[in-house]
Structures are given as structure tokens and as C-alpha cells.
């Protein structure tokens, strides 16, 4: 792998911003301002563990930019969490909320910890300790967290409860991704994949691909990947799942596999491999299949300079965050592969989180159909605004999405008189 592929994520985020700013011709003051978070908050959290001893955790909250509205971004609990990963993720949230044009800014938070080794009680005490420190900079009009890697709806519920206990008021909108009985939204569970499949439908239209006849492969048959597999035929009016993989390996059938049966198989066996009526396929071979649509839905850096030249899919829908390295991205562009970039393709999750905040604000909850309809409208409009930029400048969809997003944030900063 080239050295520039293993850079600090915040350096990559700044480089991506620099490129968009250059293409947009932004003035130097605006560029410098958008290169850095507006506010960073670092806390030290003492938590009593089950053995009675205290463990001290480092926690972060980075509010990158709130020119377009209160900031929003998930909370990661991960052993490798650093201020720079949080800064990068907060920058990407700023561009993600802007590209789907929801009236929010971007932020991110995290705690450096190993949640796999923690009991439920320890997790609850850590969640509450985080809110006792960070709660003062959160709120529906300030900054609203959500789940991310190794955090979940239960952790969101504890955090909301701690916040409400401190302020002695009902504030469900202080956090999203909550369980439905305590103010969560219908349709949040599959929103990321659903949003991605909606824009694949739009991409097929502009690329003259018949949606109902598409073949597709899913790399990473987890939460996002399973939903993409099952939603694809319904939203596109057909389509054939020819391959899927998880960390145990992959399965392939050129005649197609029933996505619902594959989900059931994965849920009962914990893996996709050995699914009946399929043959094994390696993760590397899956990526190079001649399919219409490839959904990378596993981890970052799945598509790199070494395997990008072999990719034959017509459209890549990046449900995972950062599945394509910058070098691979250039190769895909030169080879005419149409790549729907992560911060557009997986923005369905934050869009429904925003709907959750709205419902919490007026204390009235929508039916599932309403959520789907609004999500479709938002994603479809976002796709077409990026597509228009792509057509106008003959650039990759990732660069086009950056230009749309950065221009919107820069305009809001200017209108406020900040730069
Ligand atoms: P998950 O843990 O449920 O699923 C990940 C899957 O990838 C697992 O099945 C795992 O076995 C598989 N995997 C791991 N390494 C692999 C490899 N080398 N090859 C093939 N498969 C491999 O996670 P998720 O929530 O579905 O998230 C997946 C990606 O989507 C992440 O990048 C995440 O940041 C992104 N994402 C998810 C959401 C969401 O709402 N779930 C929202 C935005 C972005």
C-alpha cells in the first residue's frame, strides 16, 4: 500500500477539503476556517468497574461546523479512538449533512475504550459519566449525538436518561438512534442501506442501466449489507444477488440467491459461507465480479490501489465508511467506474436521525411509510444535485459531492459574516 494511503484520517480529511476549496475557488480565509473544527472538548472519565476499582477513560466531542444548524454526529467507543479520528469523522459529518441538505452541522464523539471486554453495567456507567461531562455542550439546539461503532440504541437511552436527570426536563431530542419506546423513529434500522439503494435506482436511470435486470454483490453481510441485499429488488423492481461475503468468506451463484433466505441463514449460522445452492468465493474475487452494482458494506480500505484495476462493476455504492482509498478512487475514475461516495451513499442513516430529532421536537411521530417517502425525496434530490455537478465539471462523483457540500457550508459561513 502506498504511504499516502495510511495517513492520519484528519490529514486526509483536510486534503479532501483543500481539493474541493481549490476547485470552488474559495478565498483563503474560508479555506483556513473550514480546515479545522470550531470547537473541541476533551474529558477524563472515572468509572467504577465491576471489580470495584476505578478505570479512567478519555472522551472526546468535536463540533466541526454549525453554520448550517446544530451539529450532529455519532459516538464511537473504540480502543484506537484519538482526537484526530474524531476530528476527521466530524469533518465528514459536516459534508454529509450538507450534501443531503438537512439543516444541521457536523460533529463526532468518542471514548477510547474496549467495549467488547466491558459488562452492561460498566457500559451504562461509562455512558452516564460521558453525559455528566459532555452534556453541557449537547442539546437539540446545540449538538445531538447518535450511535456509531460499538455504541447502540440502549447506550443512547442511558445517555438520554442521564441528560434528562441532570436538567430535570424531558429532552428526547438530545440524542438519536434511541429505541422506539423512548422516542426513536420508525425506519431508522434500515435507513442507511435504504438511502443507498434509492440512489442506486437514480444512478441506473442516468447510466441507462435497466434497474430490474441488475446483478449485484454485497461485500460485508452485516447490518448495512443485509438490508441492502433485501431492499435492492423491491426498490429497483428486480435484480439478482449473485454474491455476498462476510469475514468468514463469500458465497456465489450466477443464477442469483434469495436475499431473505441468505439473511435467515446468516442469522442462524452466524456466517454466509456454505449457504445451500451456492459456491464459495473469496472476498477478493467477489470485488472483481462483473456485476452491475457492488455494495462495499464491510470496513474501510476494501478497495485499494492493488485491487482497484480488477474491479468491473458498473456502479459502486459505498455503504461502508471509507471503503475506497484515495489512490484506488483515481483508478476507478480512470476506468469509468461510477462510484457513489460514502458520505452521500450512506447518508440515509443521519437523514432519518434528523427525522427523529424533528419528531422529538414536536412530540408527534410519523408512520413508517411517511419516513420512507421523506427519505426517498431527500436522497433522490441529493443524488441529482451531485450528478449535476459531476456532469458540469466532468469529475468523479466524490469530488462532485465534496464541491456541493463544501459550497453549501462556505455559503452559510459567509452569510453569517464569519469569513
Ligand atoms: P456490521 O459489523 O454489522 O457489518 C460488517 C460486516 O462486514 C460483518 O458481517 C463482517 O463479518 C463483515 N466483514 C468484516 N471484514 C470483512 C472482509 N474483509 N470482507 C468481507 N466482509 C467483512 O457493521 P455495519 O453497521 O453494517 O457497518 C458496515 C459499514 O457501514 C461500516 O463502514 C459503517 O461505518 C458503515 N455505516 C453503517 C451505518 C449503519 O447504520 N449501520 C451507517 C453509516 C455507515
Question: Best of 266, 298, 356 to mutate for ligand 1, by most ligand atoms within 8 A of CB?
Answer: 298
Q: Whose CA is nearest to atom 15 of ligand 1?
A: 247
Q: Any idea what the Cα angle at residue 283 is, between residues 81 and 250, rounded to 5°? A: 110
Check: CB of residue 73 under 8 Å from CB of residue 84. Answer: no
Q: Any idea what the Cα angle at residue 207 is, between residues 203 and 212, rounded to 5°? A: 70
What distance in Å separates the CA atoms of residue 345 and residue 343, rounded to the nearest whole number?
6
Length of the chain: 419
Question: Best of 249, 297, 343 to mutate for ligand 1, by most ligand atoms within 8 A of CB?
Answer: 297
* Core vs surface per residue 124-158: b (16+ CB within 10 A) or e: bbbbbbbbeebbeebbbeebbbbbbebbebebbbb
Instruction: Write out the chain's pLDDT in tens, 419 residues.
Output: 334 545 688 998 999 999 999 999 999 999 999 999 999 999 999 999 999 999 999 999 999 999 999 999 999 999 988 999 999 999 999 999 999 999 999 999 999 999 989 999 999 999 999 999 999 999 999 999 999 988 999 999 999 999 999 999 999 999 999 999 999 999 999 999 999 999 999 999 999 999 999 999 999 999 999 999 999 999 999 999 999 999 999 999 999 999 999 999 999 999 999 999 899 999 999 999 999 999 999 988 899 999 999 999 999 999 998 899 889 999 999 999 999 999 999 999 999 999 999 999 999 999 999 999 999 999 999 999 999 999 999 999 999 999 999 999 999 999 999 99
Residue 72 Cα to ligand 1 middle (Å): 21
Catalytic residues: 108
Q: For each of the domains in the chain, give its residue range(s) and CATH number, in order of start.
A: 38-174 (3.40.50.10860), 191-345 (3.40.50.720)
H helices present in 178-312, as ranges: 191-206, 223-236, 259-269, 283-287
Q: Whose CA is nearest to atom 34 of ligand 1?
A: 321
Lining ligand 1 with CB less than 6 A are 192, 219-225, 245-247, 283, 297-299, 319-321, 346, 349
Q: For residue 55, what are the β-bridge partners?
A: 47
What distance in Å separates the CA atoms of residue 358 and residue 100, rounded to the nearest whole number?
16
Residue 42 Cα to ligand 1 middle (Å): 28
Residue 132 Cα to ligand 1 middle (Å): 31
What phi and psi, each to the nearest 5 degrees, are found at residue 387? -60, -40
What distance in Å separates the CA atoms of residue 372 and residue 188, rounded to the nearest whole number?
10
Amino acid at each position: 500500500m502506498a504511504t499516502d494511503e495510511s495517513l492520519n484520517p484528519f490529514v486526509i480529511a483536510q486534503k479532501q477539503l483543500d481539493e474541493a476549496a481549490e476547485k470552488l475557488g474559495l478565498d483563503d480565509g474560508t479555506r483556513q476556517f473550514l480546515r479545522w473544527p470550531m470547537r473541541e472538548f476533551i474529558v477524563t472519565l472515572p468509572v467504577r468497574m465491576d471489580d470495584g476499582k476505578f478505570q479512567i477513560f478519555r472522551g472526546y466531542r468535536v463540533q466541526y461546523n454549525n453554520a448550517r444548524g446544530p451539529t450532529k454526529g455519532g459516538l464511537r467507543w473504540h480502543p484506537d479512538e484519538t482526537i484526530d479520528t474524531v476530528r476527521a469523522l466530524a469533518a465528514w459529518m459536516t459534508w454529509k449533512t450538507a450534501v443531503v441538505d438537512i439543516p444541521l452541522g457536523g460533529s463526532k464523539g468518542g471514548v477510547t475504550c474496549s467495549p467488547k471486554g466491558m459488562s452492561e453495567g460498566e457500559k451504562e456507567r461509562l455512558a452516564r459519566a460521558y453525559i455528566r461531562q459532555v452534556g453541557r455542550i449537547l442539546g437539540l439546539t446545540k449538538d445531538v449525538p447518535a450511535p456509531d461503532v460499538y455504541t447502540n440504541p440502549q447506550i443512547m437511552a442511558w445517555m438520554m436518561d442521564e441528560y434528562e436527570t441532570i436538567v430535570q426536563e424531558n429532552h428526547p431530542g438530545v440524542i438519536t438512534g434511541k429505541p422506539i419506546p423512548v422516542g426513536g423513529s420508525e425506519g431508522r434500522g434500515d435507513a442507511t442501506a435504504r438511502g443507498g439503494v434509492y440512489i442506486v435506482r437514480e444512478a441506473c436511470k442516468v447510466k441507462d442501466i435497466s434497474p430490474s435486470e441488475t446483478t449485484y454483490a454485497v461485500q460485508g453481510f452485516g447490518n448495512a449489507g443485509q438490508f441492502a441485499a433485501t431492499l435492492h429488488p423491491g426498490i429497483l423492481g428486480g435484480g439478482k444477488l449473485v454474491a455476498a461475503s462476510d469475514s468468514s468468506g463469500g458465497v456465489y451463484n450466477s443464477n442469483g440467491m434469495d436475499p431473505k433466505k441468505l439473511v435467515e441463514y446468516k442469522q442462524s449460522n452466524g456466517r454466509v459461507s456454505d449457504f445451500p445452492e451456492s459456491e464459495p468465493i473469496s472476498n477478493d474475487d467477489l470485488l472483481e465480479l462483473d456485476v452491475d452494482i457492488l455494495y462495499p458494506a464491510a470496513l474501510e480500505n476494501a478497495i485499494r490501489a492493488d485491487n482497484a484495476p480488477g474491479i468491473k462493476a458498473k456502479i459502486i455504492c459505498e455503504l461502508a465508511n471509507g471503503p475506497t482509498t484515495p489512490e484506488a478512487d483515481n483508478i476507478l475514475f480512470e476506468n469509468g467506474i461510477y462510484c457513489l461516495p460514502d458520505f452521500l451513499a450512506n447518508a440515509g442513516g443521519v437523514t432519518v436521525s434528523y427525522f427523529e430529532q424533528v419528531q422529538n421536537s414536536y412530540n408527534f411521530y410519523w408512520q413508517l411509510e411517511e419516513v420512507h417517502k421523506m427519505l426517498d425525496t431527500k436522497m433522490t434530490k441529493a443524488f441529482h444535485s451531485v450528478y449535476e455537478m459531476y456532469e458540469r465539471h466532468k469529475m468523479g462523483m466524490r469530488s462532485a459531492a465534496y464541491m456541493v457540500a463544501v459550497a453549501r457550508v462556505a455559503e452559510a459561513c459567509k452569510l453569517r459574516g464569519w469569513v
